[in-house]
Amino acid sequence: MSARAAARDRTPAEDDAPAAADRFAHGLVIGKFYPPHAGHHFLIRSAADACERVTVVVMAAARESIPLADRVAWIREHWAAEPQVAVVGIADDLPVDYDSAEIWAGHVALMREAVAAAPPAPPVDAVFSSEPYGTELAHRFDAAPVLLDVPRDTFAVSGTAVRADPVAHWDDLEPPVRAWFARRVVVVGAESTGTTTLSRDLAAALRARGGPHAPTRWVPEYGRELTAAKLAVARGRADPGGPVPTVFDLEWTDADFELVGRRQNEAEERAARAGGPVLVCDTDTLATTVWQERYRGRATEPVRRLADRLPPRALYLLTSDEGVDFDDDGLRDGEHLRPWMTGRFREVLAVAGVPWLELRGDRAERLRQALDAVDALLAAGWALADPPG
């Protein structure tokens, strides 16, 4: 059948789809994706729409600050619904020298190795790139060069720009990348020392700045939620007409603290993906180890493991109990332990390897100190290593 006859016999649905002859069999996208951003996904999307199969090769050097495995996982997550897109990673510590035939050959050999490690596919017949070297790269694969947005007119972003100022390019990052970049600020302290008030105030003050900070998230304390639930269950089980259980009647088990740790970590990760450059947490699992000591006499290994697996903390803010009245809201039972807990938090934070600041003063003064500390964090930047050049 002739091409003209085939076109005549196509159904309306087929007319809406690209003809197979108009599509490449196997498109290749190469990059460092350090980190992945909207421009990278535009490139992959263009390849996915024009090819039967796409292989994305992520190449990372050991000196770079974002692990190769993370970059691969982030891109795979984004393209998980499109099985024709395969994402593979490979280490590449070779220097960059576009004038060296030997170095070119070394990079291309690694690329071919990565392509071979992907699920079986036809030979590469198109190379999609937004870099000037894309034409030469396509030539070395004996493939068609497809150059997109080289001057960055469609997506005014690059890996270099994101590394230099992630906040300015926050909208160009996908949720898992945002979670990695989010500076996690955790407020900890003994009962009724203003941790919830300060963390809420800090998140609200950041949101009020607008722009990339408008979606700043606040992560509540799951332990308080569980306390309310346990108290409601105890009262539901109480004998009618008998004494109404109070928080002093609750029993806490090690399993309760493991549950708190898991739920707290899950909530934090969800918020980090949806939020702005600063994530404000009202406690975390490191603090849970202190609360377990307070109720159970020691922190157990499962809870410590949950704390050890936390993403990097940028800053801890400790709310001092000094000069703060105890507010008995029906869920608190440790007024007499507040000085001990504040001291224990000081000890734990002193060896945590994370910057921390103890806050004193009234509500406004504590917020001022917290904002100053956060602004210093943002001004310091992320200090990501440069790729080989």
pLDDT per residue over 162-183, tens digit each?
999 999 999 999 999 999 999 9
pLDDT, averaged across the chain? 92
The rounded distance, in Å, linking the Cα atoms of 251 and 229 is 13
62 and 141 in a single domain? The answer is yes
DSSP-derived pairing of the beta strands 85-91 and 126-129: unpaired
198 and 116 in a single domain? The answer is no
Q: Which domain holds residue 360?
A: 182-380
Number of domains in the chain: 2
For the sheet containing 85-91, what is the strand order? Answer: 85-91, 51-60, 24-31, 126-129, 144-147
CA distances in angstroms from 317 to 139, 187, 216, 268, 351, listed in the order given: 55, 5, 17, 17, 15
CATH number at residue 114: 3.40.50.620
The pLDDT value recorded for residue 10 is 39
Q: What is the pLDDT of residues 367-386, one digit of tens each?
A: 999 999 999 999 999 999 99
| 172 located within any domain | no
Q: Which of 140-144, 307-311, 327-331 has the lowest mean pLDDT?
A: 327-331
Whose CA is closest to 344, among 286, 260, 280?
A: 286
The pLDDT value recorded for residue 337 is 82
pLDDT band with cut points at 50, 70 and 90 for residue 336: confident
| 177 located within any domain | no
202 and 281 in a single domain? The answer is yes
| 215 located within any domain | yes
Q: What is the pLDDT of residues 22-40, one digit of tens each?
A: 899 999 999 999 999 999 9
Q: What is the pLDDT of residues 289-325, one digit of tens each?
A: 999 999 999 999 999 999 999 999 999 999 998 878 7
| 67 located within any domain | yes
51 and 103 in a single domain? The answer is yes
Which amino acid, 263?
R
Whole-number percent of the chain with pLDDT over 90: 87
| 2 located within any domain | no
What is the average pLDDT across 69-93? 98
The pLDDT value recorded for residue 3 is 32
| 169 located within any domain | no
The pLDDT value recorded for residue 8 is 33
Other CB atoms closer than 10 Å to residue 375's CB: what's the count?
12
The rounded distance, in Å, linking the Cα atoms of 254 and 383 is 39
CATH number at residue 295: 3.40.50.300
| 167 located within any domain | no
145 and 198 in a single domain? The answer is no
What is the average pLDDT across 274-295? 97
227 and 352 in a single domain? The answer is yes
pTM of the model: 0.90
Q: What is the longest distance spanned by two Cα atoms in the chain?
A: 90
105 and 249 in a single domain? The answer is no
The pLDDT value recorded for residue 325 is 73
191 and 322 in a single domain? The answer is yes
139 and 242 in a single domain? The answer is no
pLDDT band with cut points at 50, 70 and 90 for residue 96: very high
| 265 located within any domain | yes
351 and 251 in a single domain? The answer is yes
158 and 188 in a single domain? The answer is no
pLDDT band with cut points at 50, 70 and 90 for residue 328: confident
65 and 117 in a single domain? The answer is yes
